[in-house]
Structures are given as structure tokens and as C-alpha cells.
């Protein structure tokens, strides 16, 4: 069986390397999606509303992404962008993503 998957309407993977073409397309899509997530018209702020453990700041907008830090309940975050229900934030020198369920946005 010979599988080929187009990367776009005008570009196809190299012959004999269908998996590489798929991976390239997935990586390209992920990078473009992440770039869209990080775009923000202006910096906003948010307040953490969490339990005594605070809110995890993660390396990517996924619940199983590694934690880069924590923000305590009541902490003020700089919101840099949004990716679905996740927000790109900065807190006390740490940048990452937090779930929108644990913050209150300020406009």
C-alpha cells in the first residue's frame, strides 16, 4: 500500500515518506495554532480564584502539560492571549498557560 497525504492543496510529501508528510503537516498546524493563541490585542489582567493549592501554570494549553509554576489564590496575572478555554499568562516571571476555569478576567 502506498499512502500519500497532501500537506496543502499545492504541496505533497516526498514519495515513499507518507508519515513524514503527515508529521510535517501536524507540526505546521500546531505551530500556527499556537501563534494564534498567543496573539492578543492588549494585555489584560486576571485574578486567580482557586483552592489553597493555587492554580497550575503549564507549558502548553492542555491539562496534562508539565507545570512551570503555580499562582496562589488571589494572585494577579498578566493575560497575554487566549487559546480556547486556556489563557497565556505571566506571573512573577513565569510564563505559561492556565485554565480559564480558575481565573476571573478584568477588562
Q: Same domain for 98 and 57?
A: yes
- Give mean pLDDT, residues 93-106: 92
Q: Same domain for 33 and 48?
A: no
Whether the predicted pLDDT of 30 surpasses 90: no
Q: Are strands 103-106 and 94-99 parallel, antiparallel or unpaired?
A: unpaired
Q: Same domain for 70 and 30?
A: no
Whether the predicted pLDDT of 14 surpasses 70: no
Q: Same domain for 51 and 86?
A: yes
What DSSP designation does 93 have?
A: T
pTM: 0.61
- Parent domain of 16: 1-38
- What backbone phi and psi angles, to 5 degrees, belong to 40? -145, 135
- Give pLDDT tens digits for 41-95: 566 899 999 888 899 999 999 999 999 999 999 999 999 888 889 999 999 999 9
Total of domains in the chain: 2
Q: Same domain for 102 and 50?
A: yes
Say how far apart CA 84 and CA 38 lie, in whole Å: 11
Q: Same domain for 1 and 29?
A: yes
> Would you state the pLDDT for residue 8?
44
Amino acid at each position: 500500500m502506498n499512502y500519500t497525504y497532501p500537506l496543502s492543496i499545492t504541496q505533497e510529501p516526498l514519495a515513499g515518506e507518507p508519515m513524514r508528510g503527515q508529521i510535517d503537516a501536524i507540526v505546521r498546524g500546531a505551530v500556527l495554532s499556537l501563534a494564534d493563541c498567543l496573539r492578543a490585542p492588549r494585555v489584560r489582567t486576571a485574578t486567580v480564584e482557586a483552592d489553597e493549592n493555587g492554580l497550575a501554570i503549564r507549558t502548553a494549553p492542555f491539562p496534562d502539560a508539565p507545570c512551570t509554576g503555580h499562582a496562589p489564590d488571589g494572585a494577579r496575572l498578566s493575560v497575554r492571549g487566549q487559546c480556547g478555554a486556556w489563557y497565556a499568562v505571566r506571573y512573577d516571571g513565569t510564563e505559561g498557560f492556565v485554565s480559564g476555569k480558575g481565573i476571573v478576567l478584568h477588562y
